[in-house]
């Protein structure tokens, strides 16, 4: 568990994203993306890649980015050491807002887990933004729906199925620009719901890795590494598809 000074910093950072209530309903992820993604994307310039990865082609750089992010996220998973029981997870998810009404040990565990989730999510968002820039995918930084698509596909299950039902396919645009303008309200509402579901799913999975003592450290490491690898693969497929579609559209003009 973190010491008092680190705990205070964790609590302050969590409050920036809406506090514990935001983590429970999943809204924290959309806030994190809006705060961080555009900066990550803009910083991933061609000059950055050339200086950091000289003599590597695009796919070579992708492999380096993926390897580094997987390693970093695994380290974070091993470092938290937050251990709670299945019953305590229920208490964490149903307790009072702002940690009110939650026993001190559970409040500490929740802060630790939420802190880990924030750090890992930042690593993954930076990875996604760099892959997008690497493959030349033009993104609307004020409405980065592609981020939700990538994360949803990586998580799989019902969330990925919901993306498919909405007509969104990995490897291409969420919708054509002309169509998107007509259904902007519907698309935006769907993306907000999707972002919240992804945020809740990430919290639930992170909590689940902390259930069994000792094993929780290994489980957290493996989960973070596995998901980060899946996100990298989904991002590469999605954003290289966007870039290829952009080239085709240009040739047809």
Q: For the chain, percent helix, then strand, then coil, each to nearest 5?
A: 80, 0, 20
- 147 CB neighbour count, 10 Å cutoff: 28
pLDDT at 138: 80
Cα separation of 68 and 62, whole Å? 10
Question: Cβ distance 177 to 205 under 8 Å?
Answer: no
pLDDT at 253: 44
pLDDT at 104: 59
Cα separation of 67 and 124, whole Å? 12
pLDDT at 176: 40
pLDDT at 252: 46
Cα separation of 241 and 137, whole Å? 8
Tens-digit pLDDT string for the chain (253 aa)? 455 566 677 778 888 888 877 887 888 888 888 888 889 999 999 999 999 999 999 999 999 999 999 999 988 866 555 555 555 555 555 555 555 455 656 666 777 778 888 889 999 999 999 999 999 888 877 777 788 788 887 887 777 777 766 665 555 444 344 334 434 556 667 777 888 888 888 887 777 766 555 455 667 778 889 899 999 999 998 888 877 766 555 444 4
Cα separation of 209 and 113, whole Å? 10
pLDDT at 179: 38
Helix 145-155 vs helix 184-208: crossing angle, to nearest 10: 40
- Is the whole-model pTM more than 0.75? yes
pLDDT at 178: 35
What are the residue boundaries of the structural domains of the chain, listed by start?
A: 4-252
């Amino acid at each position: 568990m973190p010491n008092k000074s680190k705990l205070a910093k964790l609590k302050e950072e969590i409050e920036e994203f809406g506090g514990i209530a935001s983590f429970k309903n999943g809204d924290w992820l959309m806030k994190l993306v809006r705060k961080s993604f555009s900066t990550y994307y803009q910083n991933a310039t061609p000059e950055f890649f050339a200086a950091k990865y000289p003599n590597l082609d695009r796919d070579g750089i992708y492999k380096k980015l993926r390897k580094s992010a997987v390693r970093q996220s695994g380290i974070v998973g091993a470092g938290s050491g937050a251990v709670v029981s299945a019953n305590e997870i229920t208490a964490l998810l149903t307790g009072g807002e702002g940690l009110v009404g939650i026993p001190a040990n559970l409040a500490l565990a929740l802060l630790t887990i939420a802190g880990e989730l924030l750090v890992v999510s930042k690593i993954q968002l930076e990875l996604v933004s760099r892959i997008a820039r690497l493959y030349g995918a033009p993104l609307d930084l004020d409405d980065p729906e592609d981020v939700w698509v990538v994360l949803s596909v990586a998580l799989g299950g019902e969330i990925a199925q919901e993306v498919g039902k909405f007509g969104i396919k990995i490897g291409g645009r969420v919708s054509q620009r002309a169509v998107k303008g007509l259904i902007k309200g519907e698309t935006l509402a769907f993306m907000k719901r999707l972002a919240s579901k992804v945020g809740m799913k990430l919290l639930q999975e992170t909590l689940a890795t902390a259930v069994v003592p000792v094993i929780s450290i290994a489980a957290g490491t493996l989960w973070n590494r596995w998901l980060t690898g899946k996100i990298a693969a989904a991002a590469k497929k999605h954003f290289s598809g966007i870039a290829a579609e952009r080239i085709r559209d240009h040739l047809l003009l």
